[in-house]
Amino acid sequence: MTPEELKGFEERQAEMQQTRDLFDLICSRLNLKYGEFFGFRDTRGFAVLNIYNDQGNKTRALKVSQTAEVLIDTHKYHSVYQSNTKRNILFFSELRDRPDGYNTTRKGVLDENFEVLLPAQYDSLRDINEDSFLATIDDYAGILNSRFEIIIPLKFREIEYNETLKIFKAREQIIKEEEEESSIYRIFDQNGMLVNTLEYGLVNFANSPSFYTVYDIGSFCSDYVDPTVMIGRQGLLDQNFKTIIPPLYDLIFKGEKFILAYEERNAEVGRDYEAKEAEGSECYYTLDGGKWGAFDHGGSLIIPFEYSWIGQTLKDDLFLINPSGLMYYYQGEQEDGAWYVKDGLWGLINSKNEIMVEPIYRHYQLYDSKIIFFNRQSADYRILDTKDALTIHL
């Protein structure tokens, strides 16, 4: 742990202890027990408590000082909860009767004295930066500014804010003939001005906050891309919406200088449940027949699609290659999945696709500043042919 990380950890621990001490004092002074209320310290250090069913179905909301003095005591709100970025506001909810007889809540905004700044009129409401709120009604989302004015109308299925680019990405649902669903993405600046319209099946920031990954598919696909179902026609746009990689590929991984792309072609999926990799996995399958290539950040193809696997090293312009191995996807229990390759032979190329190490080695080990290529290893991965191993210093 670095000194900065240690300092941050100690500050968080101290803050947690201060909160615990405050709530211990509040419980003692107000004769409360943990579990009887939901509470938090707001951004100014005051405690806010919600005591549910205090009077019938009503909630008692309290604002309490750091000396456990009750400053505000009210039954006006169903719940009061905190803002993540603003020191002078709180959110609140009110119960709303529905025609079907069930109750639901609507959200609004309070000032620090529990006075209403914005009436409870939204199904959900949260601050996403210092100047903007994300609001929803009936599963449609929009953006409010710091004065609670609507700057992006509530007509989008999802809205995502990109802190790096300072833009909002909003997905508009389009229903075509025979109720087929598709999407149009609207890009807005922080003031709610329309910057661009992107007509793709899916647009996200999966590769980098400065790049857009786009999926040129006819129907809408969730922002969660299941890696076990490879989505074709994937591409990459830069932050100015220029096409860097056309939406033609099946996997894209962006590095510091280069972009690796996988073209599935006529790849065949295999399900070898007896394989070593399948043991203890939640998901395991192979993909045979596709090829990897590489682009620079300007979109020029620098390594043709001729390798079963290309892996980045700690040196940007050197790549591990495996021309003939079998690519597989592995996901362990409670782990994120990832792509790997087995069998085949390993070598090394540079960004000009020049062979630096012929692909004649069965194994490699990658250290901080070197790669060792070799052909024999023990069950615990020790190198057995050290005399014949080849070491490349990065």
Q: Mention every residue, 6+ apart, whose C-beta is less than 8 A from residue 267.
A: 287, 288, 289, 290
Regions in the chain scoring below 50 on pLDDT: 219-220, 223-224
Q: Give the containing element (helix H, strand E) for 247.
A: strand 243-249
Read off the pTM: 0.73
> Within 13 Å and on the Cβ side, how many CA atoms surround 347?
17
DSSP-derived letter for residue 278 is G
> Which two structure tokens, joined as six digits, stand for 205?
């920031």
- Phi/psi at 12 (5° precision): -65, -40
> Which two structure tokens, joined as six digits, stand for 62?
């309290």
The Cα 273–Cα 285 span in angstroms is 8
Q: Are 79 and 50 in contact (CB under 8 A)?
A: yes
Largest CA distance in the chain: 81
- Phi/psi at 287 (5° precision): -140, 110
pLDDT of residue 215: 67
The Cα 301–Cα 263 span in angstroms is 13
The Cα 284–Cα 282 span in angstroms is 7
Q: Are 110 and 70 in contact (CB under 8 A)?
A: no
pLDDT of residue 79: 93
pLDDT of residue 348: 96
The Cα 228–Cα 282 span in angstroms is 11
Q: Give the containing element (helix H, strand E) for 213.
A: strand 211-215
Q: Are 298 and 244 in contact (CB under 8 A)?
A: yes
pLDDT of residue 219: 46
CA angle 65, 70, 72 (to 5 degrees): 100
CA angle 238, 245, 326 (to 5 degrees): 130
> Which two structure tokens, joined as six digits, stand for 95?
């119960």
| Rg (alpha carbons) of the chain, rounded to whole number | 28
Q: Mention every residue, 6+ apart, whose C-beta is less than 8 A from residue 203.
A: 169, 171, 185, 212, 213, 214, 215
Q: What is the 3-state secondary structure (H, E, C) of 75-143?
A: CCCCEEEECCCCCCEEEEEEEEECCCCCEEEEEEEEECCCCEEEEEEECEEEEEECCEEEEEECCEEEE
